[in-house]
Chain A
């Protein structure tokens, strides 16, 4: 196991190194730089100003040299300044990360809590009325665009009923936990409604697949109770593909939900990464994307470990 973990760690470092170069290079290949954007609508900024600022921000150097400088500083613990926020990158990243963790963590937990029982129930009675209803609702959730759903919830709960705030992360000043929670209800509901359908479908199809296996038939023939068959014999095996999906979602947890964050004016990672890329904020975009990559790798590692726990026949060397 230790050898396996070391091997995966080494792989992850290699992936991170390659990703850092690829992301930096791709951003460098995009047209324009922050100074172009700065002067795009302001004819008062002279060409001398633009040249001076390019030199000051090091944007007049070749991309490889800039990457080398960044890497050297990063390895010594200096992740640089965010150009768009005028603050060190970790200072910008940390609050956005916390916000995103609250938003997407709650969504993932809620989604699993709903999808697991509903998916199992639907699989236990395939092609029944219940199964058709679950499928219908699941497809509805998958098909509805998130921005539309978000706006609809705002219109109903914030505009018409006036019971929930339309957006933001919390009231002004030191608000209590309930006040903060109120701001999470609509975005979490939106994302949960959009994702629970997919998760339910995964659980249902994995369970149906497992319930067709010979050993399940054997257990039933031996007279094992319905619930014991479902939860003791079938569920554990059905969870293997579900865990794969959840592992991928783990990376998504930290990369944010751009559309939902925009609709609800929620300052999370998705919006921050998007703005950093569009605004050519190299340091911030790079670190944020690498962080998301790192956590996706960590999620996959956790999934690998979970496979062994779920199915003892799987071993790592």
Chain B
């Protein structure tokens, strides 16, 4: 009896002790994310996890806000031709260019107290222009051929092309010259020596509301307030981004209180969040934001069956995308009618749409010569069955689920669709990028507001052995008018005129249908009910860019 009592007491103490240790303070916020940043350098390797964490520690000159409007964060005023801060000019070799002037916020300091100046701007430009520095996306630096510093805070960027988005320098990620100059002494080694990875806790690398205080590779990143931050004082004395790659484990960690919230940008899939909301809706707040992640099915136009526009139209008429959205995603994931999101200013809502109309699909297939039916599968005069293959990323549960519904709906109009899914690295490493998918490929594009689809729709960007498989026009879409529209949209400064061009672009997209639009993916944010101020953006610039507004309610 005594022994049993003793044992029970020990177990009870152990449980209470363990439970006590598991309590978390409320001025700490633990965020669950599914990926660990491969580097902390803002311009090397584009990665959602890195953007998410760094957005709490850094501020870009410009970015898109939650309403998809371009705003200044590190600059004092957005340059425009109207306010005289942007001036069209000719480049030395006679091309149409533009000079854009920005002023750095006078109260902007790096975390170690060094003021942010035009020296940092000039250094960042030098790094960006150097092909050996290992930066991932240097499109901006290719076009930026000169930088003039008027004083410590004012500088002018000279671009060798005049495009409508001249004021957006979102990808100009400022580097601290006083910290990074030494590692950049040998540009070819810069990517290995950058202080962002060799001295990540150096406060001089950061200029946002938080600095990185602890990093445990593969496990977590700890952020603490930046004493030199110029904006509103952030509420949390510590934010932890904890990495849990398995979404079932992520959910269990949320329920156990090990994490406070799950990031929308890098967390649960929509169906998982909806299921969690049904079970635990009372405990957490759920925010759903349709994003610029465009889920679609690329059609290989070299396939003789898909080369026929009537078959492409039949494919989309056979799909009840609204019902799929309602049944699988509780209507939270809006149906895409073109590649342009309805929340985008250039979206044209009067462009024709394809309603669910299986009868029309059957009629179109018959017109295209697929007028015989054997065992429920259509065939042509030669007796060839109407069979197509579809690939998507194996293991992506949501896509595989949607894919099965698509297969079943196509089967109802006599189209035999075979699923041949592949791991992401095979699909994006070869099948899609080298256009080796015989029929259809289902995946997503991530973009920003008013993103011109040059690499995905211009005929000069069709990957082929001749161009070393460069470009991302994977369907192999060729349309002279589309090429012309893309060229014109990029340089049209008048918004109304540009909007008309965008409208025509969407008309062609819908008529020619190089891809079947499915949905705009919705990000699911699972937040504690006490947390206020989180405003999902729905684009590639994460919610954490405004982390100083997060606070307990």
State the A residues within 8 Å of B (CB): 30-33, 36-53, 56, 81, 83-88, 92, 95-96, 150-151, 154-155, 158-159, 161-170, 172-173, 179, 182, 262-265, 267, 271-272, 278-280
Contacts and interface: CB of A to CB of B under 8 A. Distances in A.
Nearest to B426: A31
B423 interface: yes
Contacts of B134: 53, 56
Interface of B: 14-15, 18-19, 21-22, 38-39, 41, 44-46, 131-132, 134, 136-139, 142, 188, 191-192, 194, 197-198, 214, 216-220, 222, 238, 240, 242-246, 248-249, 252-253, 255-258, 423-426, 428-433, 443-447, 451, 453, 455-456, 461, 467-468, 470-472
A172 B22 CA distance: 12
B445 A167 contact: no
Contact of A30 (B21, B139, B425, B453): B425
Given A32-B430, A87-B197, A166-B258, A38 B18 contact: no
B46 A42 contact: yes
Of A44, A56, A150, A162, most buried by chain B (CB within 10 Å of CB) is A44
Contact of A166 (B137, B252, B456): B252
A283 B433 CA distance: 24
A173 B238 CA distance: 11
Contacts of A81: 192
A1 B456 CA distance: 67
A167 B470 contact: no
A68 to B, nearest CB: 20
B446 A41 contact: yes
Given A47-B471, A163-B18, A30 B429 contact: yes
Nearest to B244: A265
Given A43-B445, A44-B137, A51 B256 contact: no
Given A36-B429, A45-B137, A167 B18 contact: no
Given A44-B139, A167-B253, A271-B218, A52 B131 contact: yes
A-B pairs, 3 with minimum CB distance: A32-B429, A47-B470, A267-B218
Contacts of A162: 19, 22, 256-257
A240 to B, nearest CB: 39
Given A38-B136, A53-B136, A265 B426 contact: no
Contacts of A49: 136-139
A56 B214 contact: no
Contacts of A96: 217-218
A30 B427 CA distance: 11
A43 B472 contact: yes
Contacts of A272: 218
B197 A86 contact: yes
Contacts of A262: 245-246, 249
A85 B136 contact: no
B191 A86 contact: yes
A168 B432 CA distance: 36
Nearest to B188: A56
B437 to A, nearest CB: 12
B217 A172 contact: no
Nearest to A44: B137
Given A37-B425, A49-B136, A51-B468, A159 B18 contact: no
Given A47-B467, A263-B249, A267-B219, A161 B15 contact: yes
Contacts, number: 195
Name B's interface SS: mixed
A164 to B, nearest CB: 6
6 contacts: A46-B455, A86-B194, A162-B256, A262-B246, A263-B249, A265-B242
B192 A86 contact: yes
A90 B431 CA distance: 34
A176 to B, nearest CB: 10
A234 B461 CA distance: 74
Given A43-B447, A151-B248, A163-B18, A85 B217 contact: yes
Contacts of B256: 154, 158-159, 162, 165-166
B488 to A, nearest CB: 19
A75 B245 CA distance: 35
B217 A151 contact: no
Contacts of A36: 425, 428-430, 433
Contact of A165 (B243, B258, B424, B471): B258
A95 B132 CA distance: 30
Contacts of B253: 154, 158, 166-167, 265
A166 B138 CA distance: 41
Contacts of A45: 46, 136-137
Contact of B451 (A33, A43, A51): A43
Contacts of B216: 95, 169-170, 267
A163 B12 CA distance: 11
A164 B38 contact: no
Nearest to B20: A163
A30 B431 CA distance: 12
Nearest to B428: A40
B220 A43 contact: no
A271 B219 CA distance: 12
B139 A46 contact: yes
B429 A95 contact: no
B214 A173 contact: yes
A42 B429 contact: no
Nearest to B22: A162
A31 B446 contact: no
B391 to A, nearest CB: 13
Contact of A167 (B258, B425, B444): B258
Contacts of B468: 47, 51
B19 A31 contact: no
Contacts of B15: 161, 163
Given A31-B429, A49-B137, A169-B216, A151 B249 contact: yes
Nearest to A55: B131
A37 B249 contact: no
